Amino acid sequence: MLHQLHDLSDSASHATIASLIAAREAGHMLPAGLYTRPDAFEADLDIIFHRHWICVGLEADVPEAGDVYAVDIGRSSIVIVRDEDETVRAFHNVCSHRGARLVPAGRAIVGKLVCPYHQWAYELTGELFNAPHMGQEFNRGLHHLKPVAIRSIGGILYACLSDDPPEDIEELDRVVTPRLADYDLVNTRIAYESDIVESGNWKLVIENNRECYHCEANHPELCVSFHASDFGFDPEELSPSERDEAAALADLYRDQTEAWEAAGLASAAVEHTVGVATNFRTQRLIIAGSGESQTPDSLAACALPLGTAKKGTGDTHLWGINSWSHMMADHAVVMTLMPLSADRTLVRTKWLVHKDAVEGVDYDLENLTSVWLATNKQDADLVRIAQEGVQSAGFRPGPYSRFTEKQLDDFATWYVERMSAHGYGR
C-alpha cells in the first residue's frame, strides 16, 4: 500500500513538472515551480546533471599521477584521478563492497584508493587490488570501480554520469579544443579557488550569467575590462552618442575578429545552444580599457603568459551547461556550478596561471582575483533577489529582451527541449 502511494505521488509529481514544462511560453521565463519545487530540482539532477556532459573540473585539479579530486554532483559523487600512466580517469565515488563513499569531496594524493569502511583498496585504474577476508574463491576482477565518462577539452574536464552520454560532446571538442590550444591549460596551476553558495536555483544562476543587461548597474569592477554591450542592445534606445559608440565597437569587432582570424586565431562566435544536448557558446571577445585582462586596470595580472597566448588576443569566453570561463593571455578564470537544492547553488571559481608562475613574483593574488571575486558577490546578490521574486505569490514569468537576453531565451528553450526529450513532455 505504501509502495502504491509512493508511485501515485511520483506520477503526480512527474505530471506536474511535465505540465510546468509544457506551460513555458516562448520568449519568457520558466514557470515559477521549475525554480522552486524540490521535485523539479530532483528532476533537474536526474535529467540535466546525470545525463548530460557537465563541467566538473580541470586537468589542473589533478596535475600529477596519484592526484585525486572528488566532486559532488547532487547526492552523487565522482572521483577524478590521474593514474600512473598520467591518464585522467573518473569513477563513481562508491565502493564496490557495500557502497560507502570512497573519498571525501576535494583533493588528495594517494597510491591506491582505500575505502575507509573495510579497507578495500583500488588501483587508480579502478581495479580492485585487495579485499580482505572475502575468501579464496572471491573474484576481485568482478568488482572494478564503476567508470564515469570523462573528457578533457583543452584541459577543462567534462563528465557524464550516464552510461549513454550524448554524442555531441564531439562538437564541443571539435570547436573548442583548437581554440584553447594556445592557452595550454594542461600546464597551468590553480592560483586561487573560491566557493560560494548562492541563494537561488541553478537556472537563475545561469540566466544571470547569460546576459550583461545587468552589468553596467551592478559590476563596476568588471566593466573596466568588459564591454557591457557585448551580448546585445537595442540600437533604437541609445542616445546619439551611445549609438556612435556602439557603431564604433561593432566596427572594431568586425575588424579585430577578421584580423585575429587572419592570424590563425579562431574568434568568431559559435553557438551550439538549442536543438542540441551539449550546449555551449564560445567567442573571442575584445577586452575593454587597456585590453589585456580582467583586472582592476585591465592590464595583465601575470607576467608569465599562458602557453603561447599573446597579449592583445582578447578573451576567449566559453559557456556550457553549468560553466562559464574566460581565457586571457595571462590567466584564465573558470566557473562551474552545482545545484545543492531548489534554492541553493554552489558556484566554484578557479583562477589559472602558468604552472611556473610564482605568487608575489609573477603576479599579485589580489590583483589577479579581485574583479571576479567582486563580480561573483554582486551576482550572488542578484540571484538571491531573483529567487525571492520567483517564490513570491505575485510572480509571473516575465519576458526576455530580444536584444540583451536572447541567450536566456535559448537556455530556457534548451532546458524545455532536454526535459521533454527525457520524458517530461506533454
Comparing CB distances to Fe ion, the nearer of 63 and 296 is: 296
Smallest distance, ligand FES to C-beta of residue 113, A: 10
Smallest distance, Fe ion to C-beta of residue 318, A: 16
The site partner of 6 among ligand FES, Fe ion, none (C-beta below 5 to 8 Å per kind) is none
Smallest distance, Fe ion to C-beta of residue 388, A: 17
Binding status of residue 146 toward ligand FES by CB under 6 A: no
* Chain position whose Cβ is nearest to Fe ion: 379
Binding status of residue 310 toward ligand FES by CB under 6 A: no
The site partner of 379 among Fe ion, ligand FES, none (C-beta below 5 to 8 Å per kind) is Fe ion
Smallest distance, ligand FES to C-beta of residue 380, A: 37
Comparing CB distances to ligand FES, the nearer of 146 and 344 is: 146
User: Pattern 16-35, binding to ligand FES, x per CB under 6 A?
Assistant: --------------------
Planar angle of CA 336, 341, 342, nearest 5 degrees: 105
In terms of C-beta distances under 8 Å and separation of at least 24 residues, what long-range contacts does 243-250 make, across chains too?
249/286
Planar angle of CA 392, 42, 278, nearest 5 degrees: 105
Binding status of residue 100 toward ligand FES by CB under 6 A: yes
The site partner of 118 among ligand FES, Fe ion, none (C-beta below 5 to 8 Å per kind) is ligand FES
In terms of C-beta distances under 8 Å and separation of at least 24 residues, what long-range contacts does 85-91 make, across chains too?
88/59, 88/62, 88/150, 88/152, 88/157, 89/124, 89/125, 89/126, 89/147, 89/150, 90/56, 90/147, 90/148, 90/149, 90/150, 90/157, 90/159, 91/126, 91/145, 91/146, 91/147, 91/148
Measured distance CA(319)–CA(395) in Å, rounded: 28
Q: Which of 9, 19, 87, 98 is close enough to bind ligand FES by CB under 6 A?
A: 98
- If you compute the radius of gyration of the chain from its CA atoms, what whole number of angstroms results? 23
Binding status of residue 94 toward ligand FES by CB under 6 A: no
CA dihedral sign of residues 385, 389, 392, 394: positive
Binding status of residue 351 toward ligand FES by CB under 6 A: no
Measured distance CA(210)–CA(411) in Å, rounded: 9
What letters, b where the CB count within 10 A reaches 16 and e where it falls short, cover 43-59? bbbbbbbbbbbbbbbbb
User: Pattern 36-75, binding to ligand FES, x per CB under 6 A?
Assistant: ----------------------------------------
Q: CB burial class (10 A; 0-12, 13-18, 19+) of residue 385?
A: exposed
Q: Do residues 384 and 198 make contact, with C-beta atoms less than 8 angstroms apart?
A: yes
Smallest distance, ligand FES to C-beta of residue 109, A: 20
Collapsing DSSP states into helix, strand and coil, what is residue 99? coil
Comparing CB distances to Fe ion, the nearer of 102 and 287 is: 287
Smallest distance, ligand FES to C-beta of residue 315, A: 45
Smallest distance, ligand FES to C-beta of residue 78, A: 16
Measured distance CA(57)–CA(336) in Å, rounded: 8
User: Pattern 112-131, binding to ligand FES, x per CB under 6 A?
Assistant: ---x-xx-x-----------
Q: What is the DSSP string of 298-320?
A: SS-SBSSPSTT--TTS-EEEEE-
Q: Which three cell numbers stand for residue 357?
A: 608562475
Comparing CB distances to ligand FES, the nearer of 88 and 102 is: 102
Smallest distance, ligand FES to C-beta of residue 130, A: 10
Collapsing DSSP states into helix, strand and coil, what is residue 72? strand
Q: Which of 97, 144, 146, 243 is close enough to bind ligand FES by CB under 6 A?
A: 97
Total residues contacting ligand FES by CB under 6 A comes to: 8
Q: Which three cell numbers stand for residue 1?
A: 500500500
Comparing CB distances to Fe ion, the nearer of 292 and 379 is: 379
Measured distance CA(332)–CA(308) in Å, rounded: 14
Q: Which of 70, 78, 95, 332 is close enough to bind ligand FES by CB under 6 A?
A: 95
Binding site for Fe ion (CB under 5 A): 379
Comparing CB distances to ligand FES, the nearer of 114 and 299 is: 114
Comparing CB distances to ligand FES, the nearer of 41 and 122 is: 122
The answer for residues whose C-beta is within 8 angstroms of residue 75's C-beta and 6 or more apart is: 45
CA distances from 181 to 22, 86, 186, 227, 382 (A): 41, 19, 9, 25, 34
Comparing CB distances to Fe ion, the nearer of 379 and 410 is: 379
Comparing CB distances to ligand FES, the nearer of 133 and 426 is: 133
Please name the residue ranges forming H helices in 289-405.
Answer: 365-390
Binding status of residue 329 toward ligand FES by CB under 6 A: no
List residues near ligand FES by CB under 6 A. 95, 97-98, 100, 115, 117-118, 120
